[in-house]
Amino acid sequence: MTIHTPIPRPDRRPLTIRLATPRGFCAGVDRAIQIVERALEKFGAPVYVRHEIVHNRHVVERLKAMGAVFVRELDECPDDRPVVFSAHGVPKSVPAGARARDLFFLDATCPLVSKVHVEAERHHAAGRHIILIGHTGHPEVVGTMGQLPPGAISLVETVSDAEAFQRPGDAALAYATQTTLSVDDTAEILAVLKRRFPELPDPHKEDICYATTNRQEAVKRLGEGCDLVLVVGSKNSSNSARLVEVAMRAGARDARLVDDAGHVDWAWFDGVSTVGVTAGASAPEPLIAALVDAIADRFDATVVEDAGERETVTFKLPRALTD
């Protein structure tokens, strides 16, 4: 969606709005939302979705209005309606339970999360104990840990966790990461683990997904030159929350997470001459455009789009929706 050029308002205080590039939807989120939309088109309503398809309130509400029914567990789903698993991935027990009931299901797990699952299984098959760097209780972490038997994975959330981790017996070690972490925080944790366990492989650039990395690099550029950075995203969005932290570390005087333009406190703009605007990977572009419009209504605004990584990644939809 194109951001409208603001109307000049010489009677108001000048303000520069810097837009991060990239921002908003990533390929995995776009695919997951399309799976629910296509399922509704093909099979009609209702289509059941286990957990929020992505962590954005506006996306979930829009899909509810189209006929999607969001549930916590499969026992809330009838036998005769399609079920979609969220983009964050699910434990192996979930598709196994669906098959036991002969449910028709569509897996909207992001392919980059599925890649982490495959890597974890490969390490386990090779006899390695896996250290998973991630946030306790996050659906992606629950899904990854649920790929393997209990005890096969140890969760490490902080540098202090990394210092305290104890190798189980003499087991060989490997690691995996949640895809939406802070790149810098993860590097600090890995540095501790590598110091303590030098046999761990060097980190790979692709361990944290391309979209998370690109959005964090873009918000670093905003933080270096903005008085205030606004991140459009829901509170339960891990990657959106990380963008706020990254902006502050990069030098922004203030950074805030907002669900939409209606959640802006205009007192934040006191003394601000440059505001940066970005969005988490699950935030739709219309929310960003509406925020820019709301700012432009109150200031003599100039919009500048930052140079950044132009993403062209796409992921295929399940064959059941394209045949």
User: Which of these is catalytic: 41, 76, 119, 140?
Assistant: 140
Assess contact for 165 and 189: CB atoms under 8 A: no
3-class secondary-structure state, position 75:
helix
The bridge status of strand 128-133 relative to strand 254-258 is: unpaired
Amino acid at 98: A
Cα–Cα distances (Å) from 318 to 15, 44, 107, 110, 315, in that order, read 45, 17, 8, 12, 10
Rounded CA-CA distance 164/131 in Å is 12
3-class secondary-structure state, position 228:
strand
3-class secondary-structure state, position 68:
strand
Rounded CA-CA distance 192/167 in Å is 14
The bridge status of strand 105-107 relative to strand 68-71 is: unpaired
Cα–Cα distances (Å) from 176 to 95, 132, 148, 170, 247, in that order, read 22, 5, 13, 19, 25
Rounded CA-CA distance 114/175 in Å is 15
Length of the chain: 323
Q: Which helix (H) or strand (E) holds 51?
A: none
Rounded CA-CA distance 284/296 in Å is 19
Does the annotation count 140 as an active-site position? yes
Distance of CA 196 to the CA centre of its chain: 30
Residues noted as catalytic = 140
